[in-house]
Chains A and B, each alone.
Chain A
């Protein structure tokens, strides 16, 4: 038998190679972009015309779903079948959207339910934003598969840093529906920083100003020796270039004195406004041309006029910039550079205001439309094939629970590095209270009404006690995707309750299961296959660990003992080659049994050595494997920041 020895932490992943290339997807409000690292350099995957952008537009036609440019082209003749800017509704509830009604080019489905996820009425169908995003992702996946010439199943998907938990989990669900396994949700500005930093070898504190079609993010990152550490993040999840279009469109309508805008002409008016806005990037004046209610509208607009309209919107972004500087306790003068991301940063006034605030000319050397997808592709490679870089991200919005009087008690503050878990104790406020409703909210304000409700669950079965006697520990755990799980436990009895926070605005598990069945993504066979692969992986892990143990301490065994273990190993190796996972699991158990005495002897010897002659420190020194020698000992000038 051959012995394999691996460096600590480098146990090979047996089936890592079986999977294809993992892609990076920027799922944008206006456009989506996909990139991948096939070889060494990340590349945006383009269509036959060299176009990297896939418009995030879906058309539900009688003969099927159309996405992208083709869907956009269908809009003029089928305004009620075409959906755009769906990202703005991700994770939104019905009441969130009411305030936007009339502004957004959607028809919200009438629903008696006021708490559920918002649904859209399109071409006589009621659809969810998750399904529509899934359609976009399917088109993205198809583009990638065509371009790479192989199946694609794994992806890193970016989300605005300021997306709340509901919007994140909606995004993940959409990817699942599209048949993509999400390796990680990465924040858009962080992805941009990754692409930018790796490209230029930048070090220091950088601001990423990301103004897209529908969202604004500002993040401060410290770049040092390949670590991208987010210091603070902020923004506005409902502010973007779309709002510039709206401002311009409203102005034009007011100027022309036209009333009675229908859905179809509102759509074309917005398109005309966008065209005028884009023209104003290079020219001092532009003309907005469209037809509304049968009347021609032709409105000349000067850049100065346009800038006056959007100045208050840009001012909102500047305020958010000041807030993140405060949060990170960094001055504007400490910023090494500002990276511009998102198509809306092409607007000259945006650039001027950013430059004015940070006191340095913004950097936009990488195409602002593509930089996020490139970063996502780099991260996808890092997660599947390893990397020298590391992203350390934070939670964008504080998480808390509702307490008596509608006041929010924060459990995790914004800008805390993730993953994070925090527990806080609460108590009952009535004698004999046997249940407690845990209402999870996200936001910075002190009252529940001003925050975003993420979900509610109930801890039942608390034994009756006097008010204030029960000890209910509520634990918030946020994983590396920024997704939250909340659990509660009454400490004196150990009664537990737990939710992955998604019910309020996401899909319920049964809805998800139905949709997955419909899309035939995961059949039962897939599941069986997956369990078999998992059993094999676990078996390989056991064998590798045992090989290492035998190499180190094999001398502790007599020859017959060793023979017994070797035969159990042979049995397991044989089982792995088969197709029966029960046989594999049984063989793993058999091997575990055969090596029990060996494990015991290894422990005993180490303990005896530790407690006898050797001092504890010596034993620890020989065992504690610190895999990260402190490369930068004091004295390195670049370490002092």
Chain B
């Protein structure tokens, strides 16, 4: 009989039973070491899913390599001829892997996720309006400047300025996380989110100026 205590003990040991051969498997293993069956994607954070410790600074080449390496093993194309159960598990693994990859490779999502791991809700979701009145004011002025920019050169200038600031924020973010200053990290993340949105608007504006028939 499987009892509550057994399950708890197994969980403490980091083990789960394999769905196929019922033997012990490490919680984060992709495959059972005994019978070779693909396992469900356990509950681990997105950094550890790609085999790295949670940190804002990371080596993107390592992320890419791990991602492609794991994809080679678990992608649904590898399981197309397998029974439904294994196909579903491979899809679940690929979904979890893609989620981890998408989060880690983008500094904005990575920062927001890291904050959430540390218990800070960075609210990078789009429906959230900016709460910082100073940033709000600045955003309104920047938008006005963009609407008033009537030449591609002027738009490009605004674009370059915002782009440079977005890049500069990355090193500030890195420092904030390194020193454990989560409040600063949160503020910088919000600011980066705003800059991203603004850069998107500059692109739209640029396209509108390039096509005479299209309006803004």
Contacts and interface: CB of A to CB of B under 8 A. Distances in A.
A436 interface: no
Interface in A442-483: 477, 479-480
Given A391-B77, A603-B10, A626-B30, A632 B23 contact: no
Interface string B61-99: 110111011111101111011110000000100110011
Nearest to A596: B22
Given A409-B127, A606-B15, A607-B10, A599 B26 contact: no
B38 A610 contact: no
A524 interface: no
A602 B22 CA distance: 8
Given A534-B83, A628-B73, A619 B95 contact: no
Given A326-B203, A619-B26, A630-B66, A419 B95 contact: yes
B111 interface: no
Contacts, number: 187
B15 A544 contact: no
A585 interface: no
Classify the interface of chain B: helix, strand, loop or mixed: mixed
B178 interface: no
Contacts of B117: none
Contact of A640 (B34, B61, B77, B95): B61
B24 A603 contact: yes
Contact of A607 (B15, B31, B34, B211): B15
A571 to B, nearest CB: 19
A480 B18 CA distance: 25
A595 B94 CA distance: 31
B38 A9 contact: yes
A484 to B, nearest CB: 13
A639 B91 CA distance: 27
B108 to A, nearest CB: 13
B3 to A, nearest CB: 10
A227 B72 contact: yes
Nearest to A323: B207
B215 interface: no
Given A390-B72, A410-B126, A631-B69, A603 B23 contact: yes
A61 interface: no
A634 interface: yes
B182 to A, nearest CB: 24
B171 interface: no
Task: Report which residue of A417, A619, A623, A631 has the largest number of chain B beta carbons within 10 angstroms of its beta carbon.
Answer: A623
B98 A552 contact: no
Interface string A600-641: 101110110011000010011011111111111010000111
B71 A421 contact: no
A625 B32 contact: yes
A630 B69 contact: yes
A6 interface: yes
A222 B207 CA distance: 26
29 contacts: A8-B32, A13-B81, A13-B82, A16-B81, A227-B68, A319-B211, A382-B77, A384-B80, A409-B127, A417-B102, A419-B94, A420-B99, A480-B91, A541-B20, A545-B22, A548-B35, A549-B35, A599-B22, A602-B22, A602-B24, A603-B22, A607-B13, A624-B28, A625-B32, A627-B31, A627-B73, A628-B69, A630-B69, A632-B65
**5 closest residue pairs by CB, A with B:** A599-B22, A610-B13, A606-B24, A628-B69, A545-B21
